[in-house]
A and B are shown apart, each in its own frame.
Chain A
C-alpha cells in the first residue's frame, strides 16, 4: 500500500476569475451610473423644470387676473380700485407716464413655492380712439416658481456672455431648454440685463433659491355699451300696446327700400314707400333676416306683453312661454343682469348756454371730443346746427349737451350732426318734438356743378361714420343722486321718433299712436296704444359713449 501525502497547492490562474468579475461589475456599474444620471437629468427636466416653467406662467396669469379684476372695479364708484387689499402706489420711478400701483401675492402653490407681483399703470389715449378722459390700463405680471431638484442638470452653462449682464440671444444664451426656460440659479438674469424691463435699475440681484420667472402683459381697454337689442329694462316691462309690435330692421342693409325716410304706411302691403321689412309682414322674405331681432330683456319677473314681439325675450325668474305670448324668438327666464347708474359727465370746457338760446352749432369732427354745451333746462326750441356742413371732405359734426333740468321742449338735430343729450330731470315731449333730420347710411355726393359753374369734387368723399339715423340722436338719463328718486321719460303722439334712450334709472312710457325707431335701456318700460317699436340692428355696432366694463385687448408674454 502506497502511502502518498497529497499536497495542495494554490493555482495562480484562479485570480483571473476575480479580475473578470470585478471588471464586469465595474462595467455594469458604469452603465448603471450612466442610466441613473440620465434618469435623474430627465426626471429633473420633466418633473421639476417643466413643472416650474408652467407654474410660473400660472402664477403670472393669476396676477394678471387679480390686476384685471381690480381694474374692473373702476366702473363702480362705491368700490374704488387700488386702495385696499394690498395694493400700493408703485415706487419711483413709476412706469411712464403713471400713476401706477403694485401688489404682491406670495405663498401659494405646493409648498408655497409660487408668487406673483402685479404692476398696473394707468394710460390715456391721444389717438382719438377713446376719450382722453377715459383711461386704459397696462397690467404687467411676474410669476415666480421655485425650482426644486439638482441645479444645472442638463442645461447649458452659457449664461454669461460678456460683462456682468446676461444676454438673451441664442448665440450667447445657449439653445434648447436653456434658451426657453431661462432658469435663474444664482442671479436674476432679467433684473441684471433689463432692470425693470425698460433698462432702468440694472444690477445683479441674487435669488434665494433657483427659480423660474415668466412675465406677461395685458392691456385692459374700456368696453362701451352698444344697443344689442330693442329694450333692456331692470324693473318691469309692459308693452307694446295690443295693436303695436316690436320688431327690427337694419339701416346698414343696402336692400332697405327707402333708407332716407322710412315711413310706416300700411306695413302689410309692400311697396316703394313702405318699410315692408317689419316683422308684421313676415311673409316678405327679403327682409326677414333683419326683422326678427327686436329682443326684449327684463331683469325681473315683471313682464306683460300686449302686441307681438319679433325677437327673443329674457326675464329673471318670469314665467314667459311661447304658448301664452306672441314671441317669435327664444325665451329664457333665467337671465339676471344689472345696469350701473349713469353718472353725470364732465362738462369742463363746455359752453354754458342761456336757456333762451334756440340755435347752437356743433363744430367738432371727433365723436370722442364733441362740442359741448350746458343748459339748465330745455322748454322752448333748440336746434343743433352742423358747423361742418360745407366741409368738402367731412361734413359731419358731433355735439354733447348736458341739461341740468327737464326737457319739455323741441330739439332739432340737423343732418350730419350726431348729438348726445344728457339730462338730469324728467323728459316729457311729443314725438314731433324730437326732430332728427339725419338719414340712414348718409353718403356725401360730389357736387356735379351747373351751367357756368365747374363741378366741385371733394378730394375724399366721406360716408357718414354712423350709418344709423337713429344713432344720431342719443338721450342719456343721468341717474338721480338722491336715493329713492326715479326719473321719468314720457313720450306722446303725434310724431314718430328716431332716437335712442339710455337711462338706467328712468321709467319710460310711450303713449298714443307713435312709431319708435329706437333702442332703449331703462328702469322700466310701458307702451300702449298703437305704438310700434322698431329696433335698428346697426345700433349693435355703434358705441354710445358709456363705459360699462373693461376688457382685455392684448396679451403678450415677455420672453426675454
Chain B
C-alpha cells in the first residue's frame, strides 16, 4: 500500500491567484454592498429625521399663527413674524401663571387683552418714517401717553418687534405724536395701532436650519429642514387672514446636476395653511 500524500499537496500558482482573485472580488462585493447599505440607511434615516423636523416646524408655526394677532411674512429674507398676546405672566419661578382677559374696543369691536394694552385710532404713518401721529387733541379716546414708551406697538405697516421710543406733543398727558424704533414700511391714514406688552415670535432660516425666536430667545425646533417659503394673505373683503407656509430640505443623496436639486427639494415639500383666529378686527 502506498502512503498517500494527503496534506502535502499545495495549490499551484494559477490556482492560488485564481482563488485570491475570486476571494477579493467577493470581499469587494461584500464591502461595497455594506457601504451602499450603510449609505442608504444613513440617507433614509436623514430623510425621515428631516421630515419629522419639517412636520414639527409646521406644527409650531401653525400653532403660533392660529393664536397670533398679526402675522407678517417675508420671502427675502425668509421669515415669519407672529405677534402673540401675552397669555402667560412670568412670576419669576419659571412656572408662569395665566393672565385674566380684559376687554377694550378696537374700532367698533370688542376685543380681549391678556396684558394691559391701549389702542390708538386714526393714526397716520408715513413710509420710511419712524414718526407716528394721531389726532390726540381732538378725539378724547385716541392718543399716546408717556406710559407707552418702551412698549411694543403693532399695526398695519409697522415692522414686527417695533417699540415706542418717545412721545411728544403732549397736553395734559395726551400726546399727539410718537417715535418708533423702526420706520413704517407703508404710508397709511386712519389706522389703528395696539400698544402694550406683547410677544414676538420670529421664524427664520439660519444656515441649514429654521430657527424660532420667542422674544429673542431661541427655541431649538429643527436642525436640518432648511427652506421656509412663507406667504401671508390678508383678504379684507372676507375679513380674514391666513398664512401659507412650506418647508423643504435637500436630501443628502441628491447628486448630479444642480437643477436636479430643485426637483429633489420640491419632492420634500410640506405645506400648511393656518388662519389667524385671534386677528383683531376693528372696523371703526
Contacts and interface: CB of A to CB of B under 8 A. Distances in A.
Interface of A: 2-7, 9, 24, 27, 31, 34-35, 38, 42, 45-46, 50, 53, 96, 123, 125, 127, 129-130, 136, 138, 165, 167-170, 175-177, 179-180, 193-194, 197-199, 217, 219, 221-222, 226, 393-394, 459-463, 465, 541-543, 552-560
Contact of B221 (A31, A175, A462): A175
A27 B30 CA distance: 11
Given A7-B4, A129-B110, A558 B87 contact: yes
A130 B110 contact: yes
A3 B4 CA distance: 12
B4 A6 contact: yes
B278 to A, nearest CB: 5
Contacts of B1: 3-5
Contacts of B7: 9
A180 B221 contact: yes
B41 A180 contact: no
B220 interface: yes
B222 to A, nearest CB: 7
Nearest to A172: B94
Nearest to A394: B140
Interface string B147-180: 0000000000000000000000001101000000
Interface stretch (B59-67, B73-81, B245-253, B256-264): B59-67
B126 interface: no
B175 to A, nearest CB: 12
A554 B171 contact: no
Given A176-B221, A194-B97, A555-B67, 14 more contacts: A4-B4, A129-B103, A130-B103, A138-B101, A168-B96, A177-B52, A179-B221, A180-B60, A197-B97, A198-B97, A393-B140, A460-B137, A463-B140, A554-B101
A543 B140 contact: no
A40 B210 CA distance: 26
B41 A221 contact: no
Given A7-B4, A125-B102, A557 B67 contact: yes
Contacts, number: 151
B37 A176 contact: no
8 contacts: A34-B41, A176-B56, A180-B59, A180-B60, A198-B97, A217-B87, A462-B140, A556-B85
B255 interface: no
A515 B87 CA distance: 52
**Which 10 A-B residue pairings sit nearest by Cβ, starting from the closest?**
A554-B112, A555-B277, A219-B112, A175-B220, A129-B103, A462-B140, A221-B110, A553-B112, A42-B48, A556-B87
Given A129-B105, A560-B88, A168 B94 contact: yes
Contacts of A45: 52
B207 interface: no
A555 B278 contact: yes
A199 B41 contact: no
B95 A556 contact: no
Given A199-B95, A199-B97, A461 B52 contact: no
Contacts of A165: 95
A552 B277 CA distance: 9
Nearest to A216: B67
B110 A198 contact: no
B215 to A, nearest CB: 13
A558 B67 CA distance: 10
Contacts of B102: 125, 127
Interface string B135-148: 00111110000000
A42 B98 contact: no
A176 B220 contact: yes
Contacts of B172: 459-460
A247 B224 CA distance: 62
A554 B4 contact: no
A394 B140 CA distance: 8
B193 to A, nearest CB: 18
Contacts of B130: none
A550 to B, nearest CB: 10
Contacts of B100: 96, 123
B38 interface: yes
Nearest to A199: B97
Contacts of B52: 42, 45-46, 177
Nearest to A5: B1
A180 B137 contact: no
Contacts of A194: 95, 97
B219 interface: yes
A556 B276 CA distance: 11
B268 interface: no
Contacts of B138: 460-463
Contacts of B103: 125, 127, 129-130, 136, 221, 553
Interface in B24-78: 30, 34, 37-38, 41, 44-45, 48, 51-53, 55-56, 59-60, 63, 66-67
Interface centre among B2, B98, B109, B284 (most CB of A within 10 A): B98
A6 B34 CA distance: 43
Interface in B79-119: 85, 87-88, 94-98, 100-105, 107-112, 114
B87 A35 contact: no
Nearest to B111: A553
B283 interface: yes
B32 to A, nearest CB: 13
Contacts of A167: 94-95
Contacts of A125: 102-103
